[in-house]
Structure 1
Amino acid sequence: MELLQLHYFRTVARLEHMTKAAQELRIAQPALSKTISRLEENVGVPLFDRQGRQIRLNMYGAAFLKKVETALTALEEGCREVADMAGLERGSIFIATPTLHRLSEPLSAFLALHPTVNFRITQASLEEMSRLMENGDVDFCFTAVPIDVPCIQRLPVLKEDVFLAVPPGHRFAAKRSIPLREVAHDPFVGYKEGYPFRKMNDEFCLQAGFKPNVVCEVDEPSAISSLVQAGLGVAFVGACKSDKKSPLIKLEIETPVCQRTYQLAWHQKRYLSKAAQLFRDFVVQYFADLQKESGTSSTLSDDGFSPAKNKRNPAV
């Protein structure tokens, strides 16, 4: 049994499509099919059920995949650990996040200090992040929604108020704050179904006693900003120091309390390289300094979160 066979098997098992797997692996499909067939001969049982051109992982394949994932993850972690022991300065950090909106600036600042570190970043849904974390495919997940996977360590790094953005000329554009229920009948610009913030924002509205009328669905914060300014509707937006130059009209939400906390999460049983540990410490300090500069205390309370200010900063 060869290591390459296991890598190929893992990809085919994930995609359950030989042509797509061959394209991702950048090899010819006949060569991939032969490799999988030889692996099945070595194992002694078929790992896939085949119906014409369709393949499905069977119960033998599912059981074998779990062991393959464990073996390949252990080998990958071993390579990284040996590299650390050898004192290599270069490192690789793998991150999954639903959006780079809050992570791009600390990434840039970290790379300015450590230009030899390599990053691999994937934009993923909450379900995908859970799978990547459980399989050991990423070092960190950066999200405002908790990941429900065993043995996950979560570190809150940024707590921000959520504001209501309104278009220029909106009836509330001159106000400083409003109860959320006042826009119960307004059209909303929101995230797509399944996007982590969508569920969170919908819950804010439910607490205010209404279901939002989402007329436009997107998957990036920058798109929300543009559509609100174009007058398509109102939207929930976060706020921190980097948003001070934003042209958006942001209103404080009096009720209910609308906040979200970004967390850096990692698997306790997976090896974290020196580069990954360095990045984790840097991100914590970066956001602590950011909150100090914006006037929010970065001291963590007993629950691990930064205490909210009594009065939100309307300039943010």
Structure 2
Amino acid sequence: MEFLQLKYFQAVARYENMTQASAELNVSQPSLSNSIQRLEKKLGVPLFDRHRRHLKINAFGKVYLGKIEQAFKALEEGETEIKEMAGLSKGHLTICMMLPHLLPTLLKEFLAVHPHVRISQRQLNSTLEMKKELERSGIDFCLSTFPISGPDIEWLTFVKEEMRLTVPKHHRLASRESVNLSEVSEEPFISLPVGTSFREITDDYCRRAGFEPNIAFELEETSAIQTLVEMGLGVTLTLPMTLGNRAFNKETVQLKIVEPTCMRTFGIAWNRKHYLSKAAVHFLQFVKQFFAS
């Protein structure tokens, strides 16, 4: 079975379209079609369902595609490892981080020590998305405010902290040090969008307190949420670590929540079966020290 034949199949499976696949691969459609047919003959099963000129990858094709992508990923990791052994690699990391305000400081300090490393950041909104990317080795690390678990996923907790209720400085509860979450059951809430892990957690805390949150605004940026709270347009649940300099903002007050207990963790996850480059090993050691200090 030829390597190019597998690459051809991968492209056709991705597009489910011979014209688009042949354009990407820079091969003629007849040559591409013949290659796929030879592969199917070799395997003894069709990999696509064909309806006139339309292709749809079938169950056989999906299983085979998964194995091919695993094999290609293993080859890429082998090439990376060999280059590092030969001293040819300068290092590259792909990370996802759920505390974006910490990212500039973290990367600045890491790159000051390891200036040769190139870092790419992925924006993923849920722990499910992170878990999938870790499992397929699409990213090296996830720095998350929620534990990520799986058969091949390693999780290391850095910090545990209690969530706070953030209210405007003139709010009726602003003079208090602590509250029960049920005391704001009638208040407008400002929150992240549905589908994000943080929104799922905060909605769950409200339900534990006996109410469904009245969501007045949904925003994708934590800083924008804090701005609306400052303006007196609602309240929000916040992890102190996500606030950065805004933790000292005089326009809002952070209240301890007595009931229910709203404890979250922050840590790092990686795939233990995924090869960790020298750059990745250095990064893991660095972030351990960064959050320990």
**TM-score between both structures, scaled by the size of structure 2:** 0.84
1:155 counterpart residue number: 156
Report 1:1-316 matches (<5 A): 3=3, 6=6, 9-10=9-10, 13=13, 16=15, 18=17, 37-44=33-40, 46-51=46-51, 55-88=55-88, 90-98=90-98, 100-124=100-124, 125-240=126-241, 242-243=244-245, 244-246=247-249, 247-289=251-293
Q: 2:61 is aligned with what amino acid? A: G
Question: Matched residues, percent identical?
Answer: 40
SS in 1 for 2:166: strand
Distance 1:189 1:149 in 2: 32
Distance 1:131 1:41 in 2: 31
User: Alpha-carbon deviation of 1:220?
Assistant: 2.4
SS in 2 for 1:173: coil
Question: More displaced, 258-267 or 81-90?
Answer: 81-90
The answer to whether the Cα contact below 8 Å between 1:136 and 1:270 also exists between their aligned partners in 2 is yes
Higher helix fraction (1 or 2): 2
Q: 1:132 to 1:118 in 2, by over 3 A?
A: same
| Contiguous gaps of at least 5 residues in structure 1 | 290-316
The answer to whether the Cα contact below 8 Å between 2:5 and 2:36 also exists between their aligned partners in 1 is no
Q: 1:204 to 1:104 in 2, by over 3 A?
A: farther
User: Alpha-carbon deviation of 1:39?
Assistant: 4.3
Distance 1:197 1:284 in 2: 23
Distance 2:102 2:228 in 1: 20
The answer to whether the Cα contact below 8 Å between 2:149 and 2:155 also exists between their aligned partners in 1 is no
Q: CA RMSD in A?
A: 3.0
Q: 1:117 to 1:259 in 2, by over 3 A?
A: same
Q: 1:71 to 1:245 in 2, by over 3 A?
A: same
Question: More displaced, 211-220 or 71-80?
Answer: 211-220
**TM-score between both structures, scaled by the size of structure 1:** 0.79
User: Alpha-carbon deviation of 1:234?
Assistant: 0.6
Find the structure with the greater CA-based Rg.
2
The answer to whether the Cα contact below 8 Å between 1:18 and 1:29 also exists between their aligned partners in 2 is no
Q: How many residues align?
A: 285
